[in-house]
Structure 1
Amino acid sequence: MNFEHSDKAQKYINLLNKFMEQNVYPNEEIYNNQLKNAEDRWSTPPIMTELRNKARLQGLWNLYIPPSLSKFGGYSLSNLEYAPLAEIMGKIHWAPEIFNCNAPDTGNMEVFMKYATKAQQDKWLTRLLAGEIHSAYAMTEPQVASSDATNIECSITKKNDKYIINGRKWFITGAMHKDCEIFIVMGKSDPNNENRHLQQSQILVPRNTPGLKIVRPLSTLGYDDAPLGHAELLFDNVEVPLENILLGEGRGFEIAQGRLGPGRIHHCMRLIGNAQRALEFVCHRSENRSTFGRKLSQHQSVKEFIATAFAQIEQARLLTYKTADQIDKLGAKDARDYIAAAKITVPKMTQEVIDQAMQIHGAGGLSDDWCMAEGFNYARYCRLADGPDEVHMMALSKQLIRRFTNKS
């Protein structure tokens, strides 16, 4: 196993670190203040527009696009090569958007690349790749346990030359942003199909379609995730043309699986960046803060945390790298055991590391003076986003039992 980054990856690691040091970290407070004082919290802060223009000019744009989709742009970085870049971007919660590498847009763009028609790509993907608009992926529903995606109840009914959509969705990331112009909606087009995995379809719904209503913004642990936000949506007899279906009726579950595999690892990469930055904050604070006549760095409990956190982060990083490498070599479907393992491990590790980092920072660790409270919130909701821990544990254990007992 080669533990060195490729020359291409190292090139972009150096470029991205330099960009973050020169342009992003110095503007962290400006971004937060612009967002806090904005008349419209769901619009892009001016500093974000400025930083996105700089990133595009410096060739740090759409870095996530893998070699298999390189005809759509990017730099043909493999998942393994992209992993350290996502970690660097993840050190600031809002930084991935600077490089057009933020969720949910990256996953949605991959859906368009893999499953959309040429006409659908021309209409929506081109503008998403250019960073001109945002998008949302509407899957989770409030009335049912959406951890089992076959439970969804939103209906997609064909009538003459239209599809009619009825249902309610919630925690739809990106939906609050004023530039969110397209929704990828998962619903049931064939609810009586004996195969539960062929009942669903995915369909494109433009934001201004009559009957699509944003019910309310939602928060997680008090954070509204502005300017992208999370929303509750109502689809009340929403009509769209037949050509808005993705891939074909009954292919919705297939699309969901193709979308969520790489996306789960992108989250893990960014979360490791959150944990790493929290550890770096603790190291600085331990040398610049004293209690009971000694620096924090001289207290046994603080030293033990720093050592343990380093080990935990490194373990999670290596697992994520191996997962990315498995996706590159085998594809997401055949790497699903490692994807599940990473998705189980990384958010919980990040939550625990940041929790202790907040403790060492005292009351300030809970405030907006540092980014740790927001990072903790991100880690906590990622234990539910893209499938809760328990679902991944069940799936992984099932695979392992079959493997080690030679069952088909």
Structure 2
Amino acid sequence: MGFGQLQLKESTMNFEFSPKVQALRERLLAFMDEHIYPNESLWEQQVEEGDRWESPAILAELKAKAKDAGLWNLFLPQVYGEFSPGLTNLEYAPLAEIMGRVYWASEVFNCSAPDTGNMEVLARYGNKEQQERWLQPLLNGEIRSAFSMTEPDVASSDATNVETSIVRDGDEYVINGRKWYISGACNNHTQIHIVMGKTDPDNSNKYIQQSMILVPANTPGVKVVRPMKVFGYDDAPEGHAEVIYDNVRVPVSNMLLGEGRGFEIAQGRLGPGRIHHCMRTVGLAQRALEQMCERAETRIAFGKPLSKQQSVREAIAKSACEVEQARLLTLKAAAKMDQGGNKAAKDLIAMIKIVAPNMGCAVIDRAIQLHGGGGLSQDFFLAKAYTITRSIRLADGPDQVHMMQLGRNLARDVHAQNLAAQHPAKPVGAVS
């Protein structure tokens, strides 16, 4: 039995929208039409004209409207009880896709990274005191947060390489290290960093050397050095900062879950984070496809619409196929997460993390090409969309890591299945 057959047998796939999801979807689509698309230019203008690390005024207005509309914290799975709106990953997927059509829209609904992953960490691993101090304000949209893991001096795609030190000194931990591409750390509203470092660097088990600890952004010794650029964009007002932790002291009570649990927390956080990126990427690619179609019908070249050109038709057709394939694989991964948990869905999560960003890059690139020079300009969303999508091929693990692990898992599992089929276990008490 091949891997695909095995997964189909184990997974129940019904992607029809439930009445609850359909109602949310219709409200969200209406909100996007009424409030998000008409304010895209204003959002950009306010970011450019004001303090680049201050959230634009329109964002606060839109957040208030989203709360009033009941479109808030939709990302948090129902397993988190009191903190959750009760949606499954499969139910959230079509909603995340809609939000993803505008790269900053998720924050309007309090569903943007890195806050979503950080809220899940606090909901799943935080104690009551940590949840009251940090999770509740995040759920309310009153503050923002940063997830501080990647380092410039080591290959952080292997999280065991992280070198930031976390050393206990009496009732405090002392943190020293240098991080970069720390999303959210530049924003004026970011009040808490979740920092990954090593508490036991000499442990023979490299997977329990790391810990995660809560570091308030205003703690002495936390230095935001500079915003890192992505293809020339500084991605204000969120940004991706280089951060130095210089003898930063925090109480022992700021440790998450306990010493040596950092790698475990990272694995629990990154699964949902990866699929959320993919959900939003499908939305961005779908919008690029729609704009490609509109451009093809209305742009005249050599005396006829672009849509009369065979190569243009092929680009549109190929893009539609690829978007739908990625959408269905994303939904399947989400369903598997709901049915068996993140660990049971790890191979599907790896697949979609490989597939969706590559698909998005290909589709958006075709849309740019179809728009000519305009596709590279600020007059269309495509250039920015491409840089975001290309960066997702590195965010939460580069393609190569996911392919390495997925290939290893598939080879091992299929081999084990074949061995079991060739040598079935004998019934207890059977005589050979």
Q: Which residue of 1 aligns with 2:18?
A: 6
Displacement of 1:3 in angstroms is: 3.4
The superposition leaves residues 4-35 of structure 1 with CA deviations (integer Å, 9 ceiling, x where unpaired) of 11111111111100110111111111111111
Q: Which residue of 2 aligns with 1:215?
A: 225
Q: Which residue of 1 aligns with 2:88?
A: 78
1:346 to 353, 356, 360: 356
Q: Which residue of 2 aligns with 1:317?
A: 327
Alignment check: 8 A CA contact 2:78 2:84 kept: no
Q: Which residue of 1 aligns with 2:374?
A: 364
Q: Which residue of 1 aligns with 2:185?
A: 175
The one-letter amino acid paired with 1:262 is P
Displacement of 1:234 in angstroms is: 0.3
The one-letter amino acid paired with 1:387 is G
Q: Which residue of 2 aligns with 1:304?
A: 314
Displacement of 1:69 in angstroms is: 1.1
Alignment of 1:42 onto 2:53: yes
2:78 to 39, 59, 67: 67
Alignment check: 8 A CA contact 2:214 2:256 kept: yes
Measured in 2, the distance between the counterparts of 1:397 and 1:11 equals 40
Displacement of 1:2 in angstroms is: 2.2
The superposition leaves residues 82-119 of structure 1 with CA deviations (integer Å, 9 ceiling, x where unpaired) of 00000000000000000000000000000000001100
Displacement of 1:311 in angstroms is: 0.2
**Secondary structure class of the residue paired with 1:361:** helix
Alignment of 1:223-302 (within 5 A): 223-302=233-312
Comparing 62-71 with 112-121, greater Cα deviation is found at 62-71
Displacement of 1:328 in angstroms is: 0.4
* Runs ≥4 residues deviating over 3 A: none
The superposition leaves residues 68-88 of structure 1 with CA deviations (integer Å, 9 ceiling, x where unpaired) of 0131142x1110010000000
Identical aligned residues as a percent: 57
Q: Which residue of 2 aligns with 1:123?
A: 133
Q: TM-score, normalised by structure 2?
A: 0.93
Alignment of 1:25 onto 2:13: no
Measured in 1, the distance between the counterparts of 2:141 and 2:209 equals 33
The one-letter amino acid paired with 1:68 is V
The superposition leaves residues 111-151 of structure 1 with CA deviations (integer Å, 9 ceiling, x where unpaired) of 00000110011101110000000000000000000000000
Alignment of 1:58 onto 2:73: no
Q: Which residue of 2 aligns with 1:399?
A: 409
Displacement of 1:217 in angstroms is: 0.5
**Secondary structure class of the residue paired with 1:405:** helix
Displacement of 1:237 in angstroms is: 0.5
Q: Which residue of 1 aligns with 2:429?
A: none
Measured in 1, the distance between the counterparts of 2:319 and 2:78 equals 34
The one-letter amino acid paired with 2:338 is D
Q: Which residue of 2 aligns with 1:110?
A: 120
Measured in 2, the distance between the counterparts of 1:263 and 1:11 equals 25
The superposition leaves residues 242-283 of structure 1 with CA deviations (integer Å, 9 ceiling, x where unpaired) of 000000000000000000001100000000011000011111
The one-letter amino acid paired with 1:61 is W
Q: TM-score, normalised by structure 1?
A: 0.98
Q: Which residue of 2 aligns with 1:166?
A: 176
**Secondary structure class of the residue paired with 2:82:** helix
Structure 2: runs of 5 or more not aligned: 1-12, 420-432
Q: Which residue of 1 aligns with 2:425?
A: none
Measured in 2, the distance between the counterparts of 1:281 and 1:52 equals 27
Alignment check: 8 A CA contact 2:77 2:84 kept: no
Q: Which residue of 1 aligns with 2:422?
A: none
Measured in 1, the distance between the counterparts of 2:304 and 2:81 equals 55
The one-letter amino acid paired with 1:119 is E
The one-letter amino acid paired with 1:345 is V
The one-letter amino acid paired with 2:182 is I
The one-letter amino acid paired with 1:41 is R
Displacement of 1:287 in angstroms is: 1.2
Alignment of 1:332 onto 2:342: yes
Measured in 2, the distance between the counterparts of 1:378 and 1:29 equals 18
Measured in 2, the distance between the counterparts of 1:85 and 1:253 equals 30
Measured in 2, the distance between the counterparts of 1:196 and 1:385 equals 22
The one-letter amino acid paired with 2:159 is A
Displacement of 1:367 in angstroms is: 1.1
Displacement of 1:50 in angstroms is: 0.5
Q: Which structure has the larger Rg over C-alpha atoms?
A: 2
The one-letter amino acid paired with 2:112 is N
The one-letter amino acid paired with 1:138 is S
Q: Report the RMSD for the aligned CA atoms in angstroms.
A: 0.9
The one-letter amino acid paired with 1:49 is A
Alignment check: 8 A CA contact 2:275 2:330 kept: yes
Alignment of 1:135 onto 2:135: no
The one-letter amino acid paired with 2:39 is N
**Secondary structure class of the residue paired with 2:225:** strand
Q: Which residue of 1 aligns with 2:107?
A: 97
Measured in 1, the distance between the counterparts of 2:271 and 2:33 equals 31
The one-letter amino acid paired with 1:3 is F
Structure 1: runs of 5 or more not aligned: none
